[in-house]
């Protein structure tokens, strides 16, 4: 069977749990070939982000040109993009090369609470990048930033995801992990996806991994709702099988299905 190729455009996480590193692990775990365009280098571990160095926009463009000029791209995942100039370069490349699937995770804040998007770039994100995506995957704080109001219940999530989809003219998966109770994500089609909440500190990189898993499944030919369902199950199991690394929020276990000896946290999927 022909190998599918998935490109991640995101920041590098020196701790290996999120960003480019997590995305490439996901692509490999799900049987696709991963490529990367790095937008920023972060000094980061399980406890937080201590430094960010953005990559010059012309170098980002050169990376994009190098990939698209030589390798077929079956899907793209876009993660951390912190300034308007890089956003413009990415949007131009996407429009020019027309990859079939674009999953955009509007990364604004790290798990530790550190800001990953320049405040003045949020408007550019909404005008330039979000409308070109096949699917965007904001969590509640990101959706609140994009909409300008608080979201505190499942019913408010249902309204917010419809509003975001209409505003951005694209499909939206609103992630409800910041609410209490089961983890419920809502797609703008009305489909809801639920998993039991896992009592585990090992959740670093869940957002990055979910969006990259959706991109991989779309590349593999799954329709969007099935791609999301399979991606959520993959991330749920990766959290269940995670193990401690560092002194903060440890990453999920991207290759859990290859490691039968790891301790399992939480229950099984329903």
Q: What is the pLDDT along the chain (270 residues), one digit of tens a residue?
A: 789 999 999 999 999 999 999 999 999 999 999 999 999 999 999 998 999 999 999 999 999 999 999 999 999 999 999 889 999 999 999 999 999 999 999 987 655 555 566 667 788 889 999 999 999 999 999 999 899 999 999 999 999 999 999 999 999 999 997 777 778 999 999 999 998 888 888 889 999 999 999 999 999 999 999 999 999 999 999 999 999 999 998 999 999 988 755 454 443 333
H helix runs in the chain, sequence order: 19-29, 57-68, 84-97, 122-124, 140-147, 154-168, 206-219, 224-240
Predicted TM-score (pTM) of this structure: 0.92
Told to judge if 203 belongs to the known catalytic residues of this protein, a careful annotator would answer: yes
What is the structure's pLDDT at 90? 98
CA end-to-end span of the chain: 31
- Tell me the C-alpha distance between 269 and 240, whole Å: 10
What is the structure's pLDDT at 143? 93
CA distances from 58 to 35, 94, 121, 144, 219 (A): 18, 15, 18, 32, 28
Told to judge if 34 belongs to the known catalytic residues of this protein, a careful annotator would answer: no
Told to judge if 207 belongs to the known catalytic residues of this protein, a careful annotator would answer: yes
Give the single-character DSSP code of 102: E
Catalytic residue among 15, 34, 207, 266: 207
Counting every residue, how long is the chain? 270
Burial of 98 (0-12, 13-18, 19+ CB in 10 A): exposed
- Tell me the C-alpha distance between 52 and 174, whole Å: 27
What is the structure's pLDDT at 179? 79
- Tell me the C-alpha distance between 200 and 213, whole Å: 21
- Taking alpha carbons only, the member of 108, 167, 171, 163 closest to residue 136 is 171
Catalytic residue among 32, 39, 46, 203: 203
What is the structure's pLDDT at 266? 42
C-alpha radius of gyration, the chain, whole number: 17
What is the structure's pLDDT at 270? 30
Beta strand pairing call for 102-104 and 33-44: unpaired
Give the bridge partners for 251, in sequence order: 204
What is the structure's pLDDT at 109? 66
Catalytic residue among 175, 176, 232, 266: 175
Could you give the domains of the chain? 5-258 (3.40.1190.20)
- Tell me the C-alpha distance between 20 and 68, whole Å: 18
Catalytic residue among 16, 19, 206, 266: 206
Told to judge if 208 belongs to the known catalytic residues of this protein, a careful annotator would answer: yes
- Taking alpha carbons only, the member of 207, 191, 120 closest to residue 158 is 191
Catalytic residue among 176, 205, 240, 266: 205
What is the structure's pLDDT at 113? 56
- Tell me the C-alpha distance between 246 and 264, whole Å: 18
- Tell me the C-alpha distance between 48 and 45, whole Å: 6
Catalytic residue among 208, 232, 240, 266: 208
- Tell me the C-alpha distance between 270 and 215, whole Å: 23
- Taking alpha carbons only, the member of 74, 32, 79, 75 closest to residue 60 is 79
């Amino acid at each position: 069977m022909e190998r599918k190729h998935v490109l991640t455009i995101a920041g590098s996480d020196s701790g290996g749990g999120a960003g480019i590193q997590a995305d490439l692990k996901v692509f490999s775990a799900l049987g696709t070939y991963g490529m990367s365009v790095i937008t920023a280098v972060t000094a980061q571990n399980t406890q937080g982000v201590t430094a960010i160095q953005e990559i010059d926009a012309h170098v980002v463009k050169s990376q994009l040109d190098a990939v698209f000029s030589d390798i077929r791209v079956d899907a793209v995942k876009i993660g951390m993009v912190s300034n308007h100039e890089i956003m413009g370069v990415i949007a131009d490349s996407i429009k020019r090369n027309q990859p079939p699937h674009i999953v955009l995770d509007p990364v604004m804040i790290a798990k530790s609470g550190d800001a990953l998007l320049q405040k003045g770039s949020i408007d550019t994100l909404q005008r330039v990048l979000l409308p070109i995506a096949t699917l965007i995957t904001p969590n509640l704080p990101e959706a609140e930033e994009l909409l300008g109001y608080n979201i505190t219940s499942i019913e408010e999530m249902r309204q917010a995801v419809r509003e975001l989809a209409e505003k951005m003219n694209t499909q939206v998966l609103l992630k409800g992990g910041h609410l209490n109770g089961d983890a419920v994500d809502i797609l703008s089609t009305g489909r809801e996806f639920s998993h039991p909440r896992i009592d585990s500190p090992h959740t670093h990189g869940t957002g990055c991994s979910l969006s990259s898993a959706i991109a991989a499944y779309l590349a593999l030919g799954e329709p969007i709702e099935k791609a999301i369902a399979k991606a959520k199950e993959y991330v749920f199991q990766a959290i269940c099988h995670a193990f401690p690394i560092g002194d903060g929020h440890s990453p999920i276990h991207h290759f859990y299905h290859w490691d039968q000896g790891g301790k399992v946290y939480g229950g099984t999927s329903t």
